[in-house]
Chain A
Amino acid sequence: MNAAAPILATGRAPSLKAVGMTKIFGPLVALDDVSIDIPAGSFHALLGENGAGKSTLVKSIMGFYSADKGQVLLDGKEVSIRSPRDARAHGIGMVYQQFTLVPCLTAAENLVISRADAPAVMDWKKEKKALDAFMEQMPFRVPLDAQVSSLSAGEKQKLEILKLLYLDQRFMILDEPTSVLTPGEADEMLGLLGDMAARKEITVLMISHKFREVKAFCDGFTVLRRGRFTGSGDAQSATIAEMSQMMIGDTELRERATRRVHNENREVLELAGLFAEDVDGANVIEAVNLKVNAGEIVGIAGVSGNGQSALVEALAGQRPLSDGAIRIHGQNFFPRRAAFDKFKVFGLPEEPLKNATAPKMSVAENIAFRGFDKPPVARFGWWMSPGPMRKKAEELIARYRVKTTSPDAPIETLSGGNVQRAVLARELSGDVDVLIVANPCFGLDFASVSEIRSQIMEQRNRGAAVLLVSEDLDEILELSDRVAVMSGGTITYVSKIEDTDRNTIGQHMAGH
């Protein structure tokens, strides 16, 4: 890289066109004759549900997959991209959802080593000087000498983007870049990228399913559904209804359960001064105080990594509390199996395949986890009979519409949404007093999302105390009776949903 040249010279943004892209994995047509046209300097959104083929499309462009058919034209000329290395040579870069930075290296080391012509022996003085000069021209900064593992998610995201610019990659593919950012950070970053695109310094293709961001920052959009192109247009003139219609098609959505008004205000769940530590002994949650009443959903909003996962782990018994108490109906609750049964506490943790199932055991066995040692499945508390277990599983599989080849299939063979449904079936089939859910709809398609949210709402209407931890602010706004914001490991803000709005919550999420 030539550090002397102006890095962000205008007019260097490339245009990219992919024509007739087709990719077949065995029996599955992941991508069926899809074309996408992104003019130079455009900020283009790629929309679609999970499994619609967005990742397959960009990975085919990036050279991770070789498309079975189709061609990629960069600035009107056909290019052959067989590996991510080829893509890089053509100035096409991508920011993945999982960061590709090396945690133990510093930001500066990460940048320099990513260069194809990284010197065999580093002259750090010279490199630092060049990096400082580079940073001067950048719209956002990251501390160069900090170890990446110590950076916040937002800083890491920025560093990933800086890395693309540092490598002179002017066509950027961003895969849901704002999922780890506060609304404020997201707007700032997208705004800056949008400005750079408008000055024709870069061209951006962003995978997203946040319509708000697409409307606010993008100029064009392309929609995929089930591996096919279903529409494209001008993001500014198209309405959200049109875009979502292209995304989900004519699928009938189940009616959402409505919020029943009641005047119950028995306090059920109380978190009193909870503290928990990470492996380094630093507090991941500090003095968390919160009360949840019967028939109420309390939503905990926050940017990922602010202690929400640790809180859910503590409530589920996966992480020891260093101080504080959990009380249910005024009695101390220690998260053990017996207490879960006694107090009727149920939960859907995030990543249920990892946190709430034994992946290689069958669907039926996983569904029996709460009751395998009780009648009718077990006699004397230890003699299990597979008959009743299977019968119960079949019943729940039908009622919750879990798509599985058989109750005996290992649960890891199910799709994400169906694992979620199976766990919900297990957790909601009994009498629920306390329900703890974390990111219940993460990565699910529209139909599943509305179904699962309805289930949660039904439990609330039945009188359960529901604690909903979610990184999706829209979900919190839709479901909660009260909202709490978690920032820096503690709850910084609590409000009734009708007394607050997205902006106020966003500001508290950012720690103001």
Chain B
Amino acid sequence: MMDSAFITVLIAMLGGAIRVSTPFMFVALGECLTEKSGRINLGLEGNLVLGAMVAYAISFHTGNPWIGVLAAGGSGLILGALHGYICKLPKVNDIAVGIAIMSFGTGVAFFFGKPYIQPSAPRLDAIHLGDWTGNSALAQALQVNPLFFVGIILAVAMSWAFANTRWGLIVRMTGDSAASARAMGVSVDWVRFLATAAGGFLAGVGGAFLSLYYPGSWNQGLSSGQGLMAVALVIFARWDPIRCIWAALLFGAAGAIGPSLQSVGISQGYYFFNAAPYILTLFIMIASARSKGAAREVPGELSITK
């Protein structure tokens, strides 16, 4: 009996990892790109919430959730570009701007999102990968949204591009030594602007996943700080896109602990287990800040490390 309960929990955690990790993945990849260029965008929480709202609204009006996803990306792109533009102005602090953008994004989302809390919009469909197993729990866990795969492909592509393309090298160069980049005739502000805008796009897509797939509705408590945690996750992943994926999966699995324990009848400490991702964030931050490798891999231009 204990065994099967344990397996149920494991399967639920696997399902959770796949389901919950996707928005983390997109926000973390977006932040990774921005930070590689030497700028921090703490406003991605705003992009995430606004993306969720826009995706839901557009999906409701057009009837096509994928147009909603694109629109969410577009809204994130605009917020990211706004951050990038403001930071180009002299003597502007990217961290302060990020916090302002976060409030701005969530505020705009709540303002325009009011009418969309009630109606039901078409959602994204999942790919059923586990139906052949004949095990209903496993089948449910293996219902995977295509965005999950998009995220993984994107991480691999980013990782490759950072090493093998001119753009990748220029982004890394700008992030590590603005002086060198300038000496080479690269416009540092422009590279960072583009990287922030592109990062914002990804965070917006992450938001679309929240409202159109899991949890799959639009309300004001939808994100609960996932965008901020994803920023922490990038530090944990040491600015490596592939490691961002592993970190996102880990966070997703941790988030599934509470509900899955409840599903096997362990309801004690439910809120404690629900807090697992946050506790994990805290410990990961402490551990990675102390880690010796982190100091070496951090982009040299980031304002937190200068």
Contacts and interface: CB of A to CB of B under 8 A. Distances in A.
Chain A contact patch, size range: 20 to 34
A26 B180 CA distance: 28
A109 B173 CA distance: 10
A387 interface: no
B164 A102 contact: no
Interface in A396-449: none
9 contacts: A100-B184, A102-B176, A102-B180, A104-B175, A105-B176, A113-B173, A113-B184, A279-B292, A280-B292
Contacts of A109: 169
Given A103-B300, A122-B165, 7 more contacts: A83-B185, A96-B183, A100-B179, A102-B176, A113-B184, A118-B166, A119-B166
Contact of A105 (B164, B166, B172, B296): B172
A122 B164 contact: yes
A149 B297 CA distance: 11
A279 B164 CA distance: 30
A124 B165 CA distance: 10
A67 to B, nearest CB: 20
Interface string B49-93: 000000000000000000000000000000000000000000000
B295 interface: yes
A330 interface: no
B177 interface: yes
Contacts of B299: 104
A98 interface: yes
Contacts of A113: 166, 169-170, 173, 184
Contacts of A112: 169
Contacts, number: 63
Contacts of B300: 103-104
Interface residues of B, number: 24
A395 B69 CA distance: 72
State the main secondary structure of chain A at its contact with B.
loop
Nearest 3 interchain pairs by C-beta:
A104-B176, A113-B169, A279-B295
A100 B182 CA distance: 9
Interface of A: 83-85, 88, 96, 98, 100-105, 109, 112-114, 118-122, 124, 149, 279-281
Nearest to B298: A104
Given A279-B295, A280-B295, A280-B296, A105 B173 contact: yes
Contacts of B292: 279-281
Given A103-B300, A121-B164, A121-B165, A84 B183 contact: yes
A254 to B, nearest CB: 38
Contacts of A96: 183
Given A113-B184, A279-B295, A102 B166 contact: no
Given A85-B185, A280-B292, A124 B172 contact: no
A292 to B, nearest CB: 34
A124 B293 CA distance: 26
